[in-house]
A and B are shown apart, each in its own frame.
Chain A
Amino acid sequence: MLAFGASAASAQISNDVVRIGVLADMSGIYSDLSGKGAVEAVKMAAEDFGGTVLGKKIDVVFADHLNKADVGAAKAREWFDTGGVDLINDLANSGVARAVAAVAKEKKRHIVVNGASNMGITNELCSPYAIHYAYDAYSLAHGTGKAVVEQGGKTWFFLTVDFAFGIGQEEQVSKVVRANGGRVAGAARHPLATTDFSSYVLQAQASKAEIIGIASTGADAVNAIRAAAEFGATKNQKLAALLLWIEDVHALGLPAAQGLLLTNAWYWDMNDETRAFAKRFFERVGKMPNMAQAADYSSTMFYLNAVKAAGTDEPDAVSKKMREMTVSDMFTKQGTVRADGRFVHDMYLWQVKTPAESKAPWDYLKLAATIPAEQAFQPLSDSKCELVKK
């Protein structure tokens, strides 16, 4: 009792350091989307916060999860058990994010998911310590998917990457399609990091579906879109890319990407604040930040502010604070965390510019629609999270 009282009074910060671990794809297919950019974004937040919180140093560490769920989970365990890590951020790759969410729940430590879409984070895997911050499969489906169905795309065929992310994405969009009177003609599942999509595109053509839904991202989506154009699928069918990043548009080039719709939570060229952040980021990383990297920055700031407000880094106290506070920064003007851990904010539907519209390098997107926060995410009443009072 005495020992407890003494420690609570003197040491509000565990190990005398607030340590943030960036668990990212540093070397694989998603390393442009997460990787070094994610690490730098978190470091920028720590620096902008002043380098210390409650008089203790803020330390940023990072590791490569190799896109393997077991590697990610093992690293998270090590960081929580012996590394003194208080928060794990980024977590690109849905398989990894799911595994680490389970570890966080067990260890009662914080994670923020910015680079993965899987709905499990705010449903069956939810905990007071996990926040799903930037986007998720529901918000992407209800952005791009819904917009395309409303424009008349009623029959869909999916090219789906064969793991948690792609399958979850296909599921969500299929729901939207059916709810709007559409039909799913079929799906072809391909392995992660497929280079040749020609045979999948042929199957999509044979299905005669109006829309080819691309339930993959990064290099997979880029290759799928290129193959669809090459085989003339885009003459009779339309493409709907369900998660396209600014880097993917960059890799495709505007001639191939123009006109595509995509749902992103953030774009570097939205206002003066986003442009200022992007400029600083560009100087450090050599490319423009994407929505996950902007969210890495924003969520790290949010966590540090919550630690400061709580006066401690004790996970339960910080969790409580994070669910009371509102975020207003360059990422979002009005963001709040719900009981299921979903960080709710406006999402945006973008259209890729034509080469003529693009005035400068990385000038790629124009706003097509704003999806208000209350419509952008799965209704709380539908959440399977045990923390949601029904």
Chain B
Amino acid sequence: MDIFGIPHQALLGQVMLGLVNGAFYAVLSLGLAIIFGLLRIVNFAHGAFFMLGAFVAFLIGRYFGIGYWPAMIMGPLVVGLLGILFERFALRRLYKLDPLYGLFLTFGLVLVLEGGFRVAMGSSGHPFATPDSLRGVVNLGFMVLPVYRAFVILVAVVVCAGTWIIIEKTRMGAYLRAATERPDLTQAFGINVPILLTLTYGAGVALAGFAGVLAAPIQHVNPSMGSDLVIIVFAIVVIGGLGSVLGSALTGLGLGVIEGLAKVYYSEASSTVVFLVMALVLLLRPSGLFGREEN
């Protein structure tokens, strides 16, 4: 059976791959959405933290012989700590200024981190082996799916759902939401909002670091791996609705699929289709698919 001249098997394969990419988009845009929601900071450094996560996994493997599974914990932990330091000593000073300053600072951090890693580690990148237990492929009939990619989808869904539950169903999440709406009032109730902000930034970039570890066996570990991704992830957050956690995750998965389809039907457009959707959404629904109208 052909769909618009493409065999349906090939189409199913591309949708499946779109889901894998969408899984990365979802985890990355999730962190971005949380940070924007609470801190009102457009965290341009998100891609750089993603890259850092992958490098942490690579470097602790190379110098300490630490494998993939511990790296899944240590990667986000190290990246989260660096994020906390960055928020505490740099980003915090900008909250009272125009949001543009935060954007500039995080963008500057990207340039420094990427440039530094390029000098220290080279631009060609480094191989990162898939863990033995996740090697091999499953034959789905319409395509051969590497086990690791299936694992990525699974993990991403669990992480996104977990984050959503924390934000929507726990006391901690309630504080967080309260601080997002009315920081002054939340503070008056005796909740330490500055610490909440620091931890939120740390958790947001830790998610990026986690995605970096997940990506390491798929993309080879190199300094520019984040910068290509972050622009798309920004578009996804805008389409999903700035600050909307669920919206970002769903949009991430959906756009992964749309991108996959573009690769089959008109491959040259695959790098622009996300922005086309963004332009359309902004025209028709400026607050994003899942965003609320703000005053």
A196 and B267 contact, CB distance less than 8 A: no
Q: Flag whether B173 is at the interface (Cβ < 8 A).
A: no
A202 and B228 contact, CB distance less than 8 A: no
Give the CA-CA distance A190 to B266 in the complex, in Å.
10
Q: Hey, which bits of chain B sit against chain A, CB under 8 A?
A: 7, 9-10, 13-14, 17-18, 20-21, 115, 118, 122-127, 130, 137, 143-144, 146, 148-149, 218-220, 222, 224-225, 228-229, 260, 263-264, 267-268, 270-271
Q: Flag whether A191 is at the interface (Cβ < 8 A).
A: yes
Q: Could you say which residues of chain B place their CB within 8 Å of the CB of A199?
A: 13-14, 17-18, 260, 263-264, 270
A203-B124 in contact given A191-B271, A196-B21, A223-B220 (Cβ < 8 Å): no
B229 and A252 contact, CB distance less than 8 A: no
A222-B124 in contact given A27-B115, A196-B218 (Cβ < 8 Å): yes
A side interface size, CB within 8 A: 39
Of the residues A162, A190, A248, contact of B124 by C-beta under 8 Å: A248
A193 and B224 contact, CB distance less than 8 A: yes
Give the CA-CA distance A252 to B128 in the complex, in Å.
9
Interface locus among A39-47, A140-148, A224-232, A372-380: A224-232
B224 and A230 contact, CB distance less than 8 A: no
Closest 7 CB pairs of A and B: A199-B263, A251-B124, A32-B124, A253-B127, A31-B123, A195-B219, A32-B123
0 or 1 for each of A200-225: is its CB under 8 Å from B? (1 = yes): 10110110000000000011001100
B220 and A222 contact, CB distance less than 8 A: yes
- With both beta carbons as reference points, the residue of chain B lying nearest to A162 in the complex is identified as B268
Of the residues B14, B123, B224, B270, contact of A202 by C-beta under 8 Å: B14
User: Chain A nearest CB: distance from B125 CB in Å?
Assistant: 5
Q: Could you say which residues of chain B place their CB within 8 Å of the CB of A247?
A: 122, 124
B115 and A250 contact, CB distance less than 8 A: no
Q: Could you say which residues of chain B place their CB within 8 Å of the CB of A198?
A: 17, 20, 149
Q: Please provide the chain A residues from 1 to 44 with a CB less than 8 Å away from any CB of chain B in the complex.
A: 27-33, 35
Q: Could you say which residues of chain B place their CB within 8 Å of the CB of A33?
A: 124
Q: Flag whether A188 is at the interface (Cβ < 8 A).
A: yes
Of the residues B122, B130, B137, B228, contact of A232 by C-beta under 8 Å: B137
Give the CA-CA distance A366 to B218 in the complex, in Å.
29
B10 and A202 contact, CB distance less than 8 A: yes
B267 and A231 contact, CB distance less than 8 A: no
User: Chain B nearest CB: distance from A367 CB in Å?
Assistant: 23
- With both beta carbons as reference points, the residue of chain B lying nearest to A36 in the complex is identified as B119
A231-B122 in contact given A29-B224, A189-B267, A223-B220 (Cβ < 8 Å): no
Q: Flag whether A256 is at the interface (Cβ < 8 A).
A: yes
A219 and B17 contact, CB distance less than 8 A: no
- With both beta carbons as reference points, the residue of chain A lying nearest to B226 in the complex is identified as A195
A219-B10 in contact given A32-B123, A190-B267, A195-B228 (Cβ < 8 Å): no
Instruction: List 11 extra interface pairs beyond A198-B149, A206-B9, CB under 8 A.
Output: A32-B123, A188-B263, A189-B267, A193-B228, A195-B228, A199-B18, A219-B124, A219-B224, A230-B146, A232-B146, A250-B124
A195 and B124 contact, CB distance less than 8 A: no
